Structure 1
Amino acid sequence: MNIKSLLLGSAAALVAVSGARAADAIVAVEPEPVDYVRVCDVYGKGFYYIPGTETCLSVGGYVRFQVNVAGDPAVNLEGDDYQLASRVRARLNFDAREETELGTLRAFARLQATNTSGANNGVAIDQAYIQLGGLLMGYRDSLWSSDIGGLEDGLLTDTDLVVGDFNTNQVSYTFAAGGFSATIGLEDDGTGDVVPDIHGKIVYSGAWGGAFLSAVYDETFNQEDLANLFGDNLDFVTLSGAYPTLLQDGNNDAFALKGGVLLKDLIAPESQLKIEGHYAFDPTVYASIDGLATVNTFAANNPNILNPTPGSLPIVLEWAAGAGYAQAFGKLGLALSGQYGETFDTQFLAISPLGTVVPVNLSGDYYAVVGNVGYQITNNFATLAEVSYKNVDFGGPIGDTDQVNGFLRFQRNF
């Protein structure tokens, strides 16, 4: 055997051994890339697919720092006729949606916590509801004051002077076609009986603005509801000498109507003009509006049907009409709103010139003016300063009372 044959044989043997070893080796397979976060653009910006599902989720909210000032008759601990307090609020919105054979299935939950002058007020559910197509079930703004069809209720300042603005447990169904929507709803009135409050709302919205008409049947309203409204508010005692009695026609139920129209870019580009009013045939919580307040109850958290304006003095209006105007100039925004109305006939206990307590039946005139200035400091960070003035005048021995409120706010949205 020559050297050449020996080398060729050795090479063949090495190849054979190497091939056997290669066959026995475990080769790791490269993992396929997994798209853990996929953008869901079906429902607009901010939605992502929950991994492994076809459900789209959006998480957002804001953190807000605000200084509130409430004027006389609010009194601070030092005896001055005003109150000032700082407030911090954190809000989280969770919005989950997916498509089904019955329409869009949605779950929305809003959690928020507020800290006023160092006192932690805890975390509360501000809204929580389920939607399937046009069907809605859960807890949120009453249908009387909620945003339907993209048309927001209330005037155009932050203190939007909405009548009957509180949350309820409810069930409703909305039919929508184009810019038109019609909603019928039942809301738990907190009485414990089987008869709910009944709501209806018709809305039309388009590029020019929109219009709406609301109706509500309040199944039960009595003096216990009035006590829930006013609570232990001493401001009202100083006004009347005693808690009032709203005069009715003998029935405890009530019916009310409300309508409004919004016009965009009518006066100038980036402008909005809103006109809104209501009429209630009998006293009802849906005709109440915030009146006098303290800094702790200013923009109160989670008002509900049993206590729509916690700690403040609501005013129960037979009718009211108002208008608001908002104008944007790039990052700068200005808004002004006003409202006028009359309260229901109310019986007070007043002291006569002879020193005796006598009942006095009166109706009051009410008006309010709100103005604000806002500025977009940078993307998702803005400031807003607002001042409001409210006055209610019953005349006679009761007289009138008024109050100036205001706040300065800084808010980071996400």
Structure 2
Amino acid sequence: MNLKSLLLGSAAALVAMTGARAADAVVVAEPEPVDYVRVCDVYGKGFYYIPGTETCLSVGGYVRFQYNVAGDPARNLEGDDYQAGSSVRARLNFDAREETELGTLRAFARVQAQNNTIAQPDSSLGASYVMDQAYVQLGGLLVGYRDSLWTSGVGGLEDGLLTDSDLVVGDFNTNQVSYTFAVNGFSATLGLEDDRTGDIVPDVHAKLVYSGAWGGAYLSAVYDETYNPVNANGITNTIAINGVPISIVGTFPTLLRDGNNDAFALKGGVLLKNLIAADSQLKIEGHYAFDPTVYAGITAINTVSTLSSNQLTNAGVPIILEWAAGAGYAQKFGKVGLAIAGQYGKTFDSRLVTPINGVTFIGQGEYWAAVGNVGYAITNNFAALGEVSYKNVDFGGPVGDVDQVAGFLRLQRNF
């Protein structure tokens, strides 16, 4: 073999090796598609698995614009004296659930921001940013902050008379712990709630509910360990009706002086679906309070801010009802919904409070209210609602009666 042959052979071998390597070049495979968000259909629509976990999460809420009109309580509601103002609310609901060996573990939180133009920007009824609800459930155990068991919907049956101003007595939130036993549409709940008085004894609640395809029924009972009308729930001991100050007979501090400072109340209701026509609901409910209690309180006269917040606060005129009964009816016609409700009751005995004459017995006040609304589904998840209400409380004698016409127009986008 000479030098020329050796060089030619080496060159040929090098070309062959290069060709072989080119044919065996590494090809990077494209990543396989991964379901980063998986639908969780265990708990209904809107739930997704949190990536890398078996926890299902649902995020929803709404954005609402509302224009409110109400007779002005500061002007004794005479003639054409009305307040008017707008409000905007944004609400987010977070619902996380997963299955454990002890049952469903759930955490629910609701955060809400609202602006009412009629009130001071930093007041509780003006610009507000709040944790409206937050609680944890494990099986039948619930701990956290939400609507009082007195008004919350256990077993899928909500309190209220089917209109937006649903005339619920004792409508406020509390810190609470409860346990619910549920089977075949029946549920029984026992709960303890912080009454925010600082006393070591909590309020005690019990609720029985039955719900089915036809509707449902419920019975609630509450033992209010201390009725303190100046507590954080917003009920004052003395209120002014037509400029005349009155107070409820037997309430704080009278009850504290004689040692009898507790209260007991009962409430019940029945819901009937499709009884009169398809897509209809008929609701009847009422309560009786054996003693004055914040759980029997209702905002009888609103301001435009309380219409927006739907809370039992000092901004309106709170009334403590010994008993009340009412009914509501709701009917859907395609995209249109109609609802009406009425309520009648009696307040607890009251006293006239004056600096000169001292305390004078008045007696019970007569209360009644009526509400009507019309809603329209403009498109999917976007609707309009208009509502008008009338409330009247008549104490007779030197106090007389006070009444109010109020209403709102609302546009709301749900998601």
2:4 alignment partner in structure 1: none
Structure 1 residue 344 corresponds to structure 2 residue 345: no
| 1:134 equivalent among 140, 163, 180 | 140
Report % sequence identity: 69
1:313 alignment partner in structure 2: 317
Structure 1 residue 218 corresponds to structure 2 residue 221: no
Whether the aligned pair in 1 keeps the contact of 2:366 and 2:394 (CA below 8 Å) is: yes
Provide TM-score, normalisation by structure 2.
0.89
| 1:330 equivalent among 334, 339, 344 | 334
Paired residues for 1:169-188 under 5 Å? 169-188=175-194
2:392 alignment partner in structure 1: 391
Whether the aligned pair in 2 keeps the contact of 1:245 and 1:348 (CA below 8 Å) is: no
Deviation string 1:336-393 (CA, Å, 9 cap, x unpaired) is 0000000011111269xxx956513311010000000111111000000000000011
Aligned partners of 1:244, 1:225: CA distance in 2, in Å? Answer: 15
Paired residues for 1:33-44 under 5 Å? 33-44=33-44
| 1:282 equivalent among 291, 294, 299 | 291
- Secondary structure, in 3 states, of the residue corresponding to 1:14? helix
Whether the aligned pair in 1 keeps the contact of 2:83 and 2:304 (CA below 8 Å) is: yes
Aligned partners of 2:316, 2:357: CA distance in 1, in Å? Answer: 29
1:317 deviates by 0.4
Aligned partners of 1:57, 1:75: CA distance in 2, in Å? Answer: 49
Aligned partners of 1:223, 1:14: CA distance in 2, in Å? Answer: 99
Paired residues for 1:64-75 under 5 Å? 64-75=64-75
Which one-letter code corresponds to 1:397 in the other structure?
Answer: P
1:300 deviates by 2.4
Whether the aligned pair in 2 keeps the contact of 1:265 and 1:271 (CA below 8 Å) is: yes
1:243 deviates by 4.3
1:376 alignment partner in structure 2: 377
Whether the aligned pair in 2 keeps the contact of 1:37 and 1:49 (CA below 8 Å) is: yes
Aligned partners of 1:349, 1:226: CA distance in 2, in Å? Answer: 23
Moved more, 31-40 or 257-266: 31-40
1:81 deviates by 1.6
Which one-letter code corresponds to 2:329 in the other structure?
Answer: Y
1:51 alignment partner in structure 2: 51
1:258 alignment partner in structure 2: 267
1:75 deviates by 4.5
1:299 deviates by 3.7
1:121 alignment partner in structure 2: 127
Q: Which runs of 5+ in 2 are unaligned?
A: 2-6
Aligned partners of 1:214, 1:392: CA distance in 2, in Å? Answer: 26
| 1:245 equivalent among 212, 230, 248 | 248
1:57 deviates by 0.8
Structure 1 residue 62 corresponds to structure 2 residue 33: no
Structure 1 residue 97 corresponds to structure 2 residue 101: no
Whether the aligned pair in 1 keeps the contact of 2:103 and 2:138 (CA below 8 Å) is: yes
2:305 alignment partner in structure 1: 296
Which one-letter code corresponds to 1:195 in the other structure?
Answer: V
How well do the aligned residues superpose, as a CA RMSD in angstroms? 2.8
Provide TM-score, normalisation by structure 1.
0.89
Corresponding pairs, count: 399
Aligned partners of 2:12, 2:188: CA distance in 1, in Å? Answer: 87
Which one-letter code corresponds to 1:166 in the other structure?
Answer: F
1:297 deviates by 2.3
Structure 1 residue 194 corresponds to structure 2 residue 200: yes
Whether the aligned pair in 1 keeps the contact of 2:233 and 2:313 (CA below 8 Å) is: no
Which one-letter code corresponds to 1:146 in the other structure?
Answer: S
Deviation string 1:251-303 (CA, Å, 9 cap, x unpaired) is 210010000000001011111000000000000000001111211222426x5
Deviation string 1:45-74 (CA, Å, 9 cap, x unpaired) is 111111111111111100101000111434
Summarize the Cα distance change of 1:296–1:223 in structure 2 as closer, same or farther, 3 Å threshold.
closer
Paired residues for 1:72-87 under 5 Å? 72-75=72-75, 81-87=81-87
1:83 deviates by 0.1
1:238 deviates by 4.3
Which one-letter code corresponds to 1:55 in the other structure?
Answer: T
1:227 deviates by 9.7
Which one-letter code corresponds to 2:58 in the other structure?
Answer: S
Aligned partners of 1:338, 1:209: CA distance in 2, in Å? Answer: 20
1:10 deviates by 6.2
- Secondary structure, in 3 states, of the residue corresponding to 1:296? helix
Aligned partners of 1:73, 1:286: CA distance in 2, in Å? Answer: 24
Whether the aligned pair in 2 keeps the contact of 1:75 and 1:83 (CA below 8 Å) is: no
Whether the aligned pair in 2 keeps the contact of 1:290 and 1:313 (CA below 8 Å) is: yes
Whether the aligned pair in 2 keeps the contact of 1:319 and 1:343 (CA below 8 Å) is: yes
